[in-house]
Amino acid sequence: MFVTVVAVLCRLSGAATGSCVEEIVTDSNMSPEMSLMQCAIGAQAPLAKWMGEHPIYRTNWRIERYKCVPGHYEVKSHA
């Protein structure tokens, strides 16, 4: 099954509307062995690593939540 990992990131100082964005972090095309269950259980560490290495999100952002979505996912809002 194809699985997409989607992070919802929010600005630390963002009390305003629109201060959160969705980003596709990875999908099972990049990590073919990932199942929906593996994503739900083990996505926290890869998400933290991704965020620490990302040029935009490594400072002044936090991961509000993440979701593991079966199939392809269309991002609803970008930074």
What pLDDT, on the 0 to 100 scale, is given for residue 2?
Answer: 82
Look up the pTM and report it.
Answer: 0.79
Averaged pLDDT for residues 19-24: 89
Answer whether 4's CB lies under 8 Å from 68's CB: yes
What is the pLDDT of the chain when averaged over all its residues? 82
What pLDDT, on the 0 to 100 scale, is given for residue 78?
Answer: 59
Q: 46: closest CA among 35, 31, 59, 64? A: 31
Instruction: Pull the structure tokens for residue 70.
Output: 């079966």
pLDDT value at 79 more than 60? no
Q: 27: closest CA among 59, 65, 73? A: 73
Averaged pLDDT for residues 21-40: 78
